[in-house]
Amino acid sequence: MRKSSYEGLQEDIRKLKTPKIEVWKNRYPDKKYTINLEIPEFTCICPKTGLPDFATIKIQYIPDRFCIELKSLKYYINFYRNIGIFHEHVINKITEDFVKTCKPRWMRIEGEFNPRGGIKTTVIREYRKKK
């Protein structure tokens, strides 16, 4: 079997230490409402080529006890600017960090990446709190 040139590029990506996302206490945890966030200037680095990737990240969530503090989210998102990470991995990593921090009832993250080599990539992950 031929070894892939991508093999080993993302071995430790799940252990990536990211900045802390802060939260504030939701005063309406008894209400179900949706918060939509859109980050049109997301950038990261292609781990294969070292070239920048650009995307719009859309986050929708139904908060429970906590809401995301936006300044810390901006710092968190900007952290990826110099990180070599595949599109699929970055959306999964953001979802894991978001869920760990704010524990929403439900969330959906969509990464709409600009075309590379004529191919546009959109990665979507949903999370639903277990009852």
Instruction: Decide: helix, strand or coil at residue 125.
Output: strand
Looking only at the bridges linking them, the beta strands covering 106-116 and 35-45 are unpaired
Give me the CATH topology for the region 23-121: GTP Cyclohydrolase I, domain 2 (3.30.1130)
Tens-digit pLDDT profile for residues 28-65: 999 999 999 999 999 999 988 889 999 999 999 999 99
Residues catalogued as catalytic: 46, 53
Instruction: Decide: helix, strand or coil at residue 100.
Output: helix
Tens-digit pLDDT profile for residues 70-98: 999 999 999 999 999 999 999 999 999 99
Tell me the whole-structure pTM to 2 decimals: 0.90
**Residue 6: pLDDT band with limits 50, 70, 90:** low
Residue type at position 99: V
How many whole angstroms separate alpha carbon 73 and alpha carbon 52?
Answer: 20
Q: φ, ψ for residue 88 (rounded to 5)?
A: -65, -40
